[in-house]
């Protein structure tokens, strides 16, 4: 069974053998959905493993994979483990320079690319790479459809400087020629110990520096087994998996399904998320806060298109749910009126909201960034527990997680079993447990700074532990602002408060060495349109609406209410509303939707100087 496996290869194989005919993967194909059993998946991966061995890849070697999340990616991931190699998942959208740096530091024996378009884009980077190259998808759509034609790029159309590129179908054929599906695990794999490297994930730092975090088999197996234990999941469950497998959150979502035997469904990613939810009807899902924010925004927009009665039921239902949570936190019995109002909303408008998730979802998990309490309260009101958690790539994933039967909004939950937590003298969250990394690739000094001699990982986050052991994250240690007056300010606290302004999608607070705080704000296009409608303002251009003095004054009034709850030195004196929202494409967000502060501050340097000038 999976509980006895000491490395990922044995763990995967145990699942395949114990659930050989059960559905493992659902994936979208034109005209519908196809499925694979655990046994079929394992067979494909065993073919990949023996083909890799034939090409010289063995225990200890690294195999880098830059590809979108797909069922083929999972074949490769298992195949790398079956070969005894170290998996290095990498985001396919990385800029060329970052990809070049990772490739040079990892020096993989084999490189898988997601599709021909990626091979074509990275040709200049690959000229100095001496290993073999595999391409997972042999064709892909590029550009926009023209007059009904779908522009395809095929592998044979890509001119490569070398002839080493091999398609995944060809790799599978090679595995069959070698009899890989009958040979079992390649030599030496069963003996790989738990403390050996299994995976290397690069952290998406906001300063642009990529660090390779080396994770052991034992650490990843701890994550898989522990999450499958604390979450109510089993072989009857289905999760919609859309997160990139280059991110630790995507990895642990995948591993949780393997440990529990629950099926994974993979659709079109974020672009078809709502459609995939309706088709798959998952019972649980793991995502980042931005995903849930967008879903709640969509739900709000849908309800606002209904009758005035429906909108009032929605609004009152949210207020009732929040008051009940607050009453419970204070040890009071919820008022009967609130209970009736919430039940009425759940039987009517909130039922529509649950149907947007397919109608079967029992819980959702959030991680990777701070979760808005408004979003958590909304999901609770809909009757869908949204479990916020905390962890790092350096901890192989989660260290803390709210539970379905013990979920406290505003916290990231209690520690997972065997995880120890304490707060340092400077307020920093320190953790210790079986999920800690082996270290940073080729950087002993950085590893020594991150993990002290007593085995405590210094997370860089500030926090507090509640009486029941739940952890609250209050900010980032490295992002403390010291004003010209010598006052220490945690910008994350203020940025979180600014998100209470409904139209604000991102907030960056600035003030290091300055006499007062300022903020750069972006606004949601959808919320901006709703604001205009509520004010009976006709508009045909969002850009002009963003700079409308009436909108600025409205935000200013809402900011004053936020400031009233903050200490004097924490109040935002001046702000600017930017012309457009932040995005991954513009370089202001990382691929897991975290703001690249340095990029934003440099891009709007002149605007910030204006906010501190006497002319304003």
The upper half-sphere exposure of residue 262, i.e. CA atoms within 13 Å in the direction of its Cβ, equals: 27
Residues of the chain with pLDDT below 50 are 145, 147, 205-207
Residues with Cβ within 8 Å of residue 256, at least 6 apart in sequence? 223, 224, 227, 228, 231, 233, 239, 262, 286
Apex CA 585: angle with CA 584 and CA 586, to 5°?
Answer: 95
DSSP H helices, 28-88, are: 38-54, 71-82
Q: Residue 529 has what pLDDT?
A: 83
Q: What is the pLDDT of residues 426-474, one digit of tens each?
A: 899 999 999 999 999 999 998 999 999 999 999 988 899 999 999 999 8
Q: Give residue 603's pLDDT.
A: 92
Q: Are 433 and 395 in contact (CB under 8 A)?
A: yes
Residue 163: per-residue pLDDT: 57
d(CA 211, CA 361): 36
Helix (H) or strand (E) holding 36: strand 32-37
Q: How many CA atoms lie within 13 A of 225 on its CB side?
A: 21
Helices 289-304, 373-382: crossing angle, 10 deg rounding? 60
Q: Where along the chain do its domains lie?
A: 2-192, 480-611
Burial (CB < 10 A; 0-12, 13-18, 19+), residue 321, is buried
Q: Which CATH class is domain 480-611?
A: alpha beta
* pLDDT value for 207: 46
Asked if the domains at 2-192 and 480-611 fall in one CATH topology, the answer is no
| Residues 368, 390 contacting (CB under 8 angstroms) | no
> Inter-axis angle of helices 373-382 and 336-347, to 10 degrees?
70
pLDDT of residue 205: 47
DSSP one-letter string for 486-503: S-EE-HHHHHHHHTTSTT
pLDDT of res. 492: 84
User: In CATH, what number does 2-192 get?
Assistant: 3.40.50.12780
145 and 151 in contact (C-beta within 8 Å)?
A: yes
CA distance 507 to 511: 13
Cβ–Cβ contacts within 10 Å for residue 534, how many? 10
């Amino acid at each position: 069974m999976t509980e006895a496996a000491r490395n990922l290869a044995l763990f995967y194989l145990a699942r395949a053998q114990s659930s050989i005919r059960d559905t493992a993967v659902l994936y979208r194909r034109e005209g519908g959905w196809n499925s694979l059993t655990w046994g079929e998946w394992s067979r494909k991966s065993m073919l990949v493993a023996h083909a890799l061995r034939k090409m010289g890849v063995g225990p200890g070697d690294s195999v880098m994979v830059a590809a979108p999340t797909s069922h083929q990616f999972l074949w490769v991931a298992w195949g790398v483990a079956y070969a005894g190699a170290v998996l290095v998942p990498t985001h396919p959208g990385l800029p060329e320079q970052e990809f070049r740096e990772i490739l040079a530091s990892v020096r993989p024996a084999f490189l898988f690319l997601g599709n021909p378009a990626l091979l074509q884009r990275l040709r200049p980077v690959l000229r100095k790479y001496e290993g073999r190259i595999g391409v997972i998808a042999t064709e892909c759509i590029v550009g926009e459809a023209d007059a009904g034609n779908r522009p395809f790029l095929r592998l044979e159309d890509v001119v490569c400087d070398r002839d080493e590129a091999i398609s995944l179908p060809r790799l599978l054929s090679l595995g069959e020629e070698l009899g890989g599906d009958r040979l079992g695990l390649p030599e030496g794999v069963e003996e790989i110990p738990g403390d050996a490297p299994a995976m290397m994930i690069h952290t998406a730092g906001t300063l642009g520096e990529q660090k390779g975090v080396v994770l052991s088999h034992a650490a990843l197996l701890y994550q898989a087994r522990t999450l499958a234990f604390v979450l109510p999941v089993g072989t009857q469950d289905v999760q919609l998996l859309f997160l990139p497998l280059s991110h630790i959150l995507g990895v642990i979502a995948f591993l949780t399904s393997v440990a529990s035997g629950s099926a994974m469904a993979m659709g079109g990613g974020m672009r078809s998320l709502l459609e995939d939810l309706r088709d798959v009807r998952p019972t649980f899902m793991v995502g980042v806060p931005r995903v849930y924010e967008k879903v709640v925004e969509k739900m709000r927009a849908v309800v606002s298109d209904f009758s005035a009665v429906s909108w009032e039921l929605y609004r009152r239902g949210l207020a009732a749910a929040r008051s009940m949570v607050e009453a419970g936190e204070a040890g009071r019995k919820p008022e009967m009126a609130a209970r009736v109002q919430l039940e009425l909303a759940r039987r009517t408008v909130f039922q529509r909201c649950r149907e947007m998730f397919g109608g079967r979802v029992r819980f959702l998990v959030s991680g990777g960034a701070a979760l808005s309490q408004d979003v958590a309260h909304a999901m609770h009101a809909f009757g869908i527990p949204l479990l916020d958690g905390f962890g790092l790539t350096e901890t192989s994933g989660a260290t803390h997680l709210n539970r379905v039967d013990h979920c406290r909004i505003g916290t990231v939950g209690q520690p997972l079993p065997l995880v120890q937590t304490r707060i340092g003298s400077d307020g920093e969250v320190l953790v210790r447990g079986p999920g800690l990394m082996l270290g940073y690739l080729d950087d002993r000094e950085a590893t020594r700074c991150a993990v002290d001699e007593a085995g405590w990982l210094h997370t860089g986050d500030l926090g507090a532990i509640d009486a029941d052991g739940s952890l609250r994250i209050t900010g980032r240690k490295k992002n403390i602002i010291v004003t010209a007056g010598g006052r220490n300010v945690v910008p994350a606290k203020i940025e979180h408060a600014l998100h209470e302004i409904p139209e604000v999608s991102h907030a960056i607070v600035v003030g290091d060495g300055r006499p007062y705080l300022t903020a750069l704000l972006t606004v949601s296009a959808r919320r901006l349109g709703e604001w205009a409608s509520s004010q009976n303002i006709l508009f045909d251009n969002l850009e002009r609406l963003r700079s409308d003095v009436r909108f600025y004054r409205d935000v200013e009034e809402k900011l004053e209410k936020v400031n009233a709850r903050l200490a004097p030195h924490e109040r935002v004196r001046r702000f600017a509303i930017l012309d457009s929202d932040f995005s991954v494409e513009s370089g202001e967000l990382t691929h897991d939707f975290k703001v690249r502060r340095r990029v934003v501050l440099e891009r709007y340097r002149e605007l910030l100087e204006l906010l501190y000038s006497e002319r304003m």
